[in-house]
C-alpha cells in the first residue's frame, strides 16, 4: 500500500512537471520576479514576510538574486540551445585563448622593458585654468581642490595633439605641456607592472584607445 502511494505521487509529480501549464507558470513567476527586482520602492506587504534572519543589512547578498533569471534557460528550449552552443564555442576557443594570452604576455613583458616608469604622465589643466573654464562657471563657487583632483582623472580634460594624449615629463629636455597645463603623473594606462601591462596590450589589440 505504501509503495503504491509513493508511485502515485511520483506519477503525479512527473505529470505536473512535464505539463505545459507548469512551464508557463514558472516562466511567469520568473518574469514577475524580474519586474519586482527593478522596482526601487518594494511594496510594503513584504514586511510581513520573515525568514529567520533579517538580511536587510547584508546588501551584497541581494546581487545573487540576478542568478535566478538563469532559470529561464531551462524553461525556454530555444534559449537552452543557444546557451549550450555558446558554451561549446567557448570550449572550442580554449586553445585560441591560451595562445592569445601567451602572445599578450610576451608583448606585456616587452612593454615592461621599454616603457616601465613612463607613459603615466599626462598634461592636465591647472587649477586656475580649470576654474576659468566656461563649462563650469556656474559651479565655480563650489569648486574645491578635491573636486578638481577628481575631475582631472577624466580623460576628457587631458590635453591632446592630433587626437593623441600628449606624454610629458618634468625633466629638462623632455616634452613640456602648453600654457595653462601641468604635467601630472599617475594618469592613464601604463606599463609599470605586469598587471597594468596586460590590459594595456589587450586594449591595443582590440584598438580600444
- Whole-angstrom Cα Rg for the chain: 29
Give the integer Cα–Cα distance in Å for 147 and 189: 22
pLDDT for res 92:
82
For the chain (209 residues), the mean pLDDT of every run of 10, in chain order, is 78 84 82 70 54 53 66 72 85 86 90 79 79 58 69 77 73 69 72 84 82
Residue 41 vs residues 31, 44, 54, 67, 175: alpha-carbon distances, Å: 18, 9, 18, 21, 54
- pLDDT computed for residue 65 by the predictor: 67
pLDDT of residue 147: 75
The whole-number pLDDT of residue 56 equals: 54
Query: In angstroms, what CA-CA distances link 107 with 111, 156, 195, 196, 201?
Result: 6, 28, 13, 12, 7
pLDDT at 52: 47
Amino acid at each position: 500500500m505504501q509503495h503504491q502511494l509513493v508511485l502515485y505521487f511520483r506519477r503525479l509529480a512527473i505529470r505536473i512537471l512535464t505539463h505545459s501549464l507548469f512551464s508557463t507558470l514558472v516562466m511567469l513567476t520568473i518574469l514577475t520576479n524580474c519586474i519586482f527586482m527593478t522596482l526601487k520602492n518594494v511594496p510594503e506587504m513584504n514586511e510581513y514576510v520573515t525568514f529567520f534572519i533579517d538580511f536587510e543589512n547584508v546588501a551584497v547578498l541581494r546581487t545573487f538574486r540576478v542568478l535566478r533569471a538563469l532559470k529561464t534557460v531551462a524553461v525556454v528550449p530555444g534559449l537552452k540551445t543557444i546557451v549550450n552552443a555558446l558554451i561549446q564555442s567557448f570550449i572550442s576557443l580554449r586553445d585560441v585563448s591560451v595562445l592569445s594570452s601567451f602572445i599578450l604576455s610576451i608583448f606585456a613583458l616587452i612593454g615592461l622593458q621599454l616603457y616601465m616608469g613612463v607613459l603615466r604622465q599626462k598634461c592636465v589643466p591647472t587649477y586656475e585654468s580649470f576654474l576659468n573654464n566656461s563649462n563650469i562657471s556656474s559651479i565655480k563657487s563650489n569648486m574645491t581642490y578635491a573636486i578638481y583632483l577628481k575631475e582631472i582623472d577624466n580623460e576628457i580634460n587631458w590635453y591632446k595633439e592630433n587626437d593623441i594624449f600628449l606624454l610629458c615629463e618634468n625633466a629638462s629636455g623632455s616634452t613640456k605641456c602648453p600654457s595653462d597645463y601641468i604635467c601630472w603623473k599617475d594618469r592613464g594606462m601604463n606599463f609599470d607592472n605586469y598587471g597594468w601591462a596586460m590590459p594595456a596590450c589587450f586594449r591595443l589589440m582590440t584598438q580600444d584607445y
